Amino acid sequence: MDLSTAEQILIEQRVTNEAKSMGVAYLLWLFFGGLGAHRLYIGRIGSGLAILALMVVGVLLSPLGVGTVFLVPAVIWMLVDAFLIPGMIRQQKEEVRNSLGKQMYAERLLVAERSGRRQ
């Protein structure tokens, strides 16, 4: 897939506009990390809901004394995420970049096919 310089610049501009912000991800992690909000924002829906479930179950079972079994893994997961957020953001940007590149290439092929039919 060979894209022109102009197409590559356009893709990078769109990646910049559509990619998730690392600052927003860290703010969500800081204030709502126990609810998995940072992972939900980045697009990791399954793991974000898993953290949320661990926290909710842990809080609900705390009066019975077994809540820590769920809370400790959720807190550890949240702390580890502080180091994983930059990689998750990079991966999300790369996914957007690849998607836009494929879309641009497909549009170019479609235009070439249409112009070939008119001749």
In which element (H, E) is residue 73 found? Answer: helix 68-118
What is the residue range of 66's domain?
20-113
In a domain, 11, yes or no: no
Query: pLDDT tens track of the chain, all 119 residues?
Result: 678 888 889 999 999 999 999 999 999 999 999 999 999 999 999 999 999 999 999 999 999 999 999 999 999 999 999 999 999 999 999 999 999 989 988 988 898 888 876 54
In a domain, 1, yes or no: no
In a domain, 5, yes or no: no
Count Cβ atoms below 10 Å from residue 24 Cβ, excluding itself. Answer: 13
In a domain, 4, yes or no: no
How many structural domains are present in the chain?
Answer: 1
In a domain, 92, yes or no: yes
32-38: list long-range contacts, CB under 8 Å, 24+ apart: 33/78, 33/81, 34/74, 34/75, 34/78, 38/81, 38/85
